[in-house]
Amino acid sequence: MRKWLIMLLTVVLGLLGLAGCSDSDKASSDAKDGKVEITYGIWDKKQLPAIEDIIKLFNEKHPNIKVKTEITPYGQYFQKLETAATGGALPDVLWMNGAHVTQYAEGKVILPLSDMAKKDNYSLDNYPKSLIDLYTVDGKVYGIPKDYDTIGFWYNKKIFDDAGVAYPDETWDWTKLKETAKQLTNKDKGVWGFASTIANQEGYYNFIWQNGGYVISKDGKKAGFDDPKTVEALKFYTSFIKEGLSPTQAQMTETAASELFSSGKVAMMLDGPWMVPEYKKNPDLNVTVLPKGETRATAIHGLSNVIAANTKHKDAAWKFVQFLGSKEAAEIYAKTGTVIPAFNGAQDTWVKSVPSLNLQAFIDASEYSVPLPNAKSTGEIWQYEVDILKKAWSQEESIEDAAKELTKKANEALSK
């Protein structure tokens, strides 16, 4: 008798377990009371407050579509997506960057949106053309631009004042940058003049382009890390570490450069407008355009919202994506100073959102901006950049050797 009881219990528990699995599937696909739930995959926690506001506004119009946000830190975001895509479990709507869009579009895991946009008379002219181009693969648009970012030259006014040095402005060039970094570096106080972060978009890419070098050739077939102009730019950028004007690579691994900067240990560094919510907290900080090299240049890039190909709620997801690309959503992004909205005309609101910062610099910079590469293997190449260049950043290897190795690896990836 007791055996039977135990046996029965086992079976029941087992079934419960199985039922548990299928139940949750149902809940997300079944629209019993007309309500559907879609998930929205993002990576930047700083934007969450603005996104929540946008979702609230969206729900006023579409009370039946519930949106759940899923944050994965950028470091793991694309790794998780790749695995999720393989298993058919992508969020319905998600953030995409230029480095990965070709891979995802050709892998058919995200939906082309051109036809739906045409059908709904959804105008793509509201966004800068360069951003639409970035998300166009084989003539089809896969992402609705969400924001864009150029790179700014951030500085700490207090450190400048203490040293009696004039603030940077648009007349600065590389020589002036080096000179000032020397003046501001103060070993006793533990203050560095500049931070040569191992970041590409908000770091060495800008210097490469200012020097007339290139990262990936226009046809997307060849990597240009060993181009003499590129090598020269990388050498200049890392010379700050060599001369003790920047924290070492090891120090920046232990404490992120952005933290050193916002706590007044670093006087100048390059960073994007996505850091505005963070840097505006410190009243000593301000921003201007990048110093110029041979020419003026800054990286431009923007994120977009894309729809997963295996979504069960295509209509709801498309409605949400349209709303995310709308003027109303752009206004929220702008007003809160979260990011520069991609929607044409909303940028002015953003510039005025944080009066203490000279945000106009980011808009001005878009005139001479260079888009980030978007060849299919860009995401993979970015991994190699960190792995290989860090040896040069830590002075273990010469820039020439690292550049050669990186070019070889990148060319292999591009030829795949």
Partner 1 sequence: MKEIPLQTEVKPAKRLKAASLAKTRKRSDYFWAYLMIAPTMLGLAIFYLWPIIQNFYFSFTEWGSFGQYEWTGLDNYKRMLEDATLLQSFKNTGIYIIFTVPIGIFLSIIIAVLLNQNIKGKSVYRTLYFLPVITMPAAIAMVWKWLYNADYGLLNYLLSLIGIKGPQWVTDPHIALYSVIAVAIWSGIGYNMVIFLSGLQGIPKMYYEAAEIDGAGPVTVFFKITLPLLSPVIFFVTIMSLIGAFQVFDLIFMMIGKGSTALESTQSIVYLFYQHAFVLNDKGYAAAIAVLLLIVILIITAIQMVLQKKWVHYD
Shortest Cβ distance from residue 9 to partner 1 (Å)?
11
Contact 58, 328 (CB under 8 A): no
Cβ contacts of 5 within 8 Å, gap of 6 or more: none
Task: Give me 330's structure tokens.
Answer: 């752009």
Nearer to partner 1, 198 or 351 (CB): 198
- CA 47 to CA 96: how far, in whole Å? 15
Per CB under 8 A, the list member of 24, 29, 64, 86 interacting with partner 1 is 86
Per DSSP, 300 falls in state E
Size of the site for partner 1 (CB under 8 A): 34
Name the phi and psi angles at 69, rounded to 5: -90, 145
* 273 three-class SS: helix
Nearer to partner 1, 194 or 362 (CB): 194
Q: Give the range of 29-37, 139-147, 272-280, 391-399 binding partner 1 by CB under 8 A.
A: 391-399
Lookup result for tokens 């869009």: 101
Is 120 a binder of partner 1 (CB under 8 A)? no
Nearer to partner 1, 190 or 283 (CB): 190
The CB-side HSE value for 409 (13 A sphere, CA atoms) comes to 19
Shortest Cβ distance from residue 22 to partner 1 (Å)?
16
Nearer to partner 1, 18 or 31 (CB): 18
Q: Give the range of 6-14, 229-237, 274-282, 334-342 binding partner 1 by CB under 8 A.
A: 6-14
* Residues 356-375, interacting with partner 1 (CB under 8 A): none
Shortest Cβ distance from residue 76 to partner 1 (Å)?
8
Per CB under 8 A, the list member of 30, 70, 348, 396 interacting with partner 1 is 396
Say if residue 190 is exposed, middle or buried (CB neighbours under 10 Å; 0-12, 13-18, 19+).
exposed
Is 20 a binder of partner 1 (CB under 8 A)? no
Shortest Cβ distance from residue 130 to partner 1 (Å)?
26
Per CB under 8 A, the list member of 64, 175, 255, 398 interacting with partner 1 is 255
Per DSSP, 128 falls in state -
- CA 294 to CA 403: how far, in whole Å? 21
Per CB under 8 A, the list member of 380, 402, 406, 414 interacting with partner 1 is 380
Nearer to partner 1, 127 or 384 (CB): 384
Is 412 a binder of partner 1 (CB under 8 A)? no
* Residues 185-224, interacting with partner 1 (CB under 8 A): 190, 198
Per CB under 8 A, the list member of 6, 19, 27, 48 interacting with partner 1 is 6
Is 8 a binder of partner 1 (CB under 8 A)? no
Task: Give me 35's structure tokens.
Answer: 């309500």
Per DSSP, 364 falls in state H
Q: Give the range of 27-35, 178-186, 347-355, 385-393 binding partner 1 by CB under 8 A.
A: 385-393
Between the CA of residue 409 and those of 207, 214, 402, what are the distances in Å?
A: 22, 16, 11
Per CB under 8 A, the list member of 8, 31, 89, 386 interacting with partner 1 is 386
Shortest Cβ distance from residue 196 to partner 1 (Å)?
13
Q: ∠ CA 10-14-15 to the nearest 5 degrees?
A: 120
Closest listed residue to residue 377, CA positions, set 18, 101, 81, 38: 101
- CA 399 to CA 5: how far, in whole Å? 72
* Site mask for partner 1 (CB under 8 A), range 233-252, x = bound: ----------------xxxx
Lookup result for tokens 């319905």: 92
Start-to-end CA span in the chain (Å): 66
Task: Give me 332's structure tokens.
Answer: 């929220």
Q: 10 Å Cβ neighbour count for 231? A: 21
Between the CA of residue 98 and those of 83, 102, 160, 306, what are the distances in Å?
A: 19, 8, 36, 12
* Site mask for partner 1 (CB under 8 A), range 37-76, x = bound: --------------------------------------x-
Q: Give the range of 169-177, 180-188, 367-375, 392-400 binding partner 1 by CB under 8 A.
A: 392-400
Kindly provide the b/e burial profile for residues 4-17, where b requires at least 16 CB atoms within 10 angstroms of the residue's own CB: eeeeeeeeeeeeee
Shortest Cβ distance from residue 185 to partner 1 (Å)?
15
Per CB under 8 A, the list member of 10, 29, 64, 295 interacting with partner 1 is 10
For partner 1, the binding residues (CB under 8 A) are: 3, 6-7, 10, 13-14, 75, 79, 82-83, 85-86, 103, 106-109, 190, 198, 249-255, 380, 383, 386, 390-391, 393-394, 396
